[in-house]
Structure 1
């Protein structure tokens, strides 16, 4: 009975469990809604099978799974390269106690009066700009801090509203080129230059604006809204994949859900 010390639970054990829970939470947020979640589940199944065959002393199957697990770290780096990059950026942009604190990502630790993005104003502006074939690219921060991009444009501190969004992207406005970055309910930068994705095949009718939206949402967990200057079509881009919406109400609800 000396070996079974159920009540010998140290404070450091609690810290260990808590940190593992945070790690799993961040992994879940990174793979949620992507094909990576299926790969992650597959790897988890293989890991459990590896442990089970070891426990049951099924040596042949164990040797197969063991060989896979030994090279698994290389496979993980290759398969989850975009997610690993997002995770490292997420960790690097986290400030303990600040607005990007990891603790504030948990809903039960969030302040009730936390400012939320006025999605309705943004989508109404996009709908109006689409009607006049005015091109626009709006990037909304989530967990990853995008301050490293604001220096490529003009730093701002403007409260989000429909007239503000429309005036920024007005064709004769000096601010209409490039993207804007929205953090919570503030336009923090305009004329931002985003990394462009040249690898993914997209329809020819979509140009640099959509490639830039794909690029930034692949490299970070931000979401983007693009309005085509040629067709007026509104596109929603997340995790490097874009969807076209005709019903702005559905798009508004989708964005609110992703920002929750």
Structure 2
């Protein structure tokens, strides 16, 4: 319903903060942004965790060169599955783990690399309802860098369990999540190791990410900022998701 109701709101001159994933396909995502431009309003995809000071610090560490040139990234979000009345578990409502969870892992990799992969391979396990319950994908880049994402709804049913993790390896060292959840508030941490012998646990205080994204969007509407989750970021991610779902046979 994101595409239909966002388009309606945009045509009525409403700014829209739309829950992820923005649209079922990159083509529809691009159309949504075009309608926003035509109506002189803002559209931003709601990836709350992208506004986290923890995620921004990880990106700053990478950009600083502290762990060198990127060689490999992996990210995962795996959760409980749900009762089959849940929209996440039905094909007609675009259920499945890639749309619901994989977009976190894929968007994390995209934020850290700043680019789309040159090649994608992916495979999924499917339920009787023909939704993906576990998906894994490998990204390859022109530089030779590789990335790997996992997502799944395979933990104990309706127990609200989750496994959130990432690792980033560079030519000078590595950075690994310790206390981490994509949308978790509180004290989050990561460990950084460099090949010259340094090892350090770093902590970041994280407020409510949902408040951060709403406040940032408000500043955009007031003319003070531009959306942090940009049109290019969202359409590039939608294109990556398209490729993964086509590779796995979801479509």
**1 or 2, which has the higher strand percentage?**
2
Q: Which has the higher helix share?
A: 1
What is the TM-score normalised by the length of structure 2? Answer: 0.23
Higher relative contact order, structure no. (Cα contacts within 8 Å, ≥ 6 residues apart): 2
Q: TM-score, normalised by structure 1?
A: 0.22
